[in-house]
Amino acid sequence: MAKLKITQVKSKNGATKRQIANLESLGIRRLHQTVEVELTPVTKGMVEKVRHLVIVEEI
């Protein structure tokens, strides 16, 4: 299965509780942190909710 490389580039200040929870579920804790996750329907949905805060690259 494909993998995604997700990097937070904008602050979560001002984001909703739901968006902050999605970032934490993806494993992102701080600004400029990068994580690699499997591309599943669940992770794809979480990434779509925080698309304005992150950069996504397909590996």
Q: Show the domains of the chain with their CATH numbers.
A: 3-58 (3.30.1390.20)
DSSP state of 30: S
- What's the N-to-C CA distance of the chain in angstroms? 10
Confidence of residue 58 (pLDDT cuts 50, 70, 90): very high
Q: Does 19 score more than 90 pLDDT?
A: yes
pLDDT at 23 over 90: yes
Q: How confident is the model at residue 37 (pLDDT cuts 50, 70, 90)?
A: very high
Beta bridge partners of 54: 8
Residue 1: pLDDT band (50, 70, 90) is confident
The band of 46, judged by pLDDT with boundaries at 50, 70 and 90, is very high
